[in-house]
């Protein structure tokens, strides 16, 4: 059995509560995103609206999936994303089968090649063995 919670409030607050309820109902189904539309690090620029990436002044052409993964990872540098999380970003599921794992591996490899900065640099995407990948600004 579900218990319903009863909240008592002073009757004089009823108009205020009804006003808040109407505002919430008007917002129902509306998503409010507080994420940045642009991400900037030294030598790195990512624009969410134009789906554009620039590394050291040169625009980098990415596939839709490459951009989606990079956009999520670039928002949180240093955070490790597991194979399951990346699979969720790409396919909306967390069941990592061998074929899916290989797709992620190839996608990250392709991103690494496209995001090369300088030859001596290790790049932006780092492997966390047995876990996944991390985006880092060196």
What does R_g of the chain's alpha carbons equal in angstroms?
Answer: 22
Contact 80, 132 (CB under 8 A): yes
Q: How far apart are CA 111 and CA 60, in angstroms?
A: 10
Helix, strand or coil, per DSSP, at residue 36 = coil
Q: How far apart are CA 117 and CA 45, in angstroms?
A: 13
Question: Average pLDDT, stretch 100-127?
Answer: 84
pLDDT greater than 60 at residue 116:
yes
Q: How far apart are CA 9 and CA 15, in angstroms?
A: 12
Question: Average pLDDT, stretch 87-91?
Answer: 83
Residue 30, C-beta contacts closer than 8 angstroms, at least 6 positions apart? none
Beta bridge partners of 132: 82, 128
pLDDT greater than 80 at residue 72:
yes
- Tens digits of per-residue pLDDT, 15-42? 787 777 777 666 655 554 556 789 999 8
Residue 69 parent element (H or E): helix 64-75
Question: Average pLDDT, stretch 60-84?
Answer: 92
Q: What is the pTM assigned to this prediction?
A: 0.70
């Amino acid at each position: 059995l579900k218990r319903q919670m009863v909240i008592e409030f002073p009757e004089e607050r009823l108009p205020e509560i009804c006003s808040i309820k109407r505002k919430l109902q008007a917002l129902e189904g509306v998503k409010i995103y507080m994420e940045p539309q642009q991400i900037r690090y030294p030598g790195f620029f990512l624009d969410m609206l134009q789906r554009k990436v620039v590394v050291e002044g040169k625009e980098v052409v990415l596939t839709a999936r490459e951009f989606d993964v990079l956009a999520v990872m670039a928002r949180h540098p240093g955070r490790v994303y597991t194979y399951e999380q990346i699979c969720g970003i790409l396919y909306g599921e967390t069941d990592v089968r061998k074929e899916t794992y290989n797709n992620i591996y190839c996608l990250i490899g392709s991103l690494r090649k496209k995001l090369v900065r300088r030859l001596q640099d290790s790049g932006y995407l780092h492997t966390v063995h047995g876990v996944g990948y991390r985006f880092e600004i060196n």
